[in-house]
């Protein structure tokens, strides 16, 4: 995904009902203090609801980091196909696998 392109599409009202900004470094996306210290002006810096990764490998590193170091509760799926695709890791908990199926089922109603 090209963060700059997505941001521009949002500015042109091609992506509606949300605020899109990027690319942002991870610390700036999740920490208002970090963004302020670096003088980054962004409506989403430090208040990010969604992080998009440039590819599956980077996404997997962040995912595993959050699960194993921060004990994050996760659900995962791939979007952009005709229907949501459940994507879980062999090492995911039963709860994460269930939540991923639930997320995809709820999202499938939008297609």
For the chain, the structural domain boundaries read 1-52, 55-111
* pLDDT reported for residue 55: 87
Torsion of CA 17, 18, 22, 25, to 10 degrees: -160
Residue 66 has pLDDT above 70, yes or no: yes
Q: What is the CA angle 55-58-63, rounded to 5?
A: 115
Instruction: Compute how many other C-beta atoms are within 10 angstroms of the C-beta atom of residue 47.
Output: 13
Q: What is the pLDDT of residue 79?
A: 85
- 67-93 pLDDT tens trace: 999 999 999 998 889 999 999 999 999
Is 80 exceeded by the pLDDT of residue 38?
yes
pLDDT at 110: 66
Q: How far apart are CA 25 and CA 74, in angstroms?
A: 21
* Pair of tokens at residue 23: 């690319």
pTM greater than 0.75: no
């Amino acid at each position: 995904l090209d963060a700059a392109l997505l941001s521009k599409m949002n500015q042109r009202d091609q992506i509606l009902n949300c605020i899109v900004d990027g690319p942002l470094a991870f610390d700036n996306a999740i920490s208002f203090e970090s963004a302020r210290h670096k003088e980054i002006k962004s409506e989403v810096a430090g208040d990010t609801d969604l992080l998009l990764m440039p590819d599956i490998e980077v996404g997997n590193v962040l995912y595993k980091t959050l699960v194993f170091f921060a004990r994050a509760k996760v659900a995962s799926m791939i979007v952009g196909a005709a229907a949501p695709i459940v994507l879980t890791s062999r090492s995911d908990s039963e709860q994460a696998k269930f939540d991923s199926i639930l997320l995809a089922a709820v999202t499938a109603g939008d297609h």
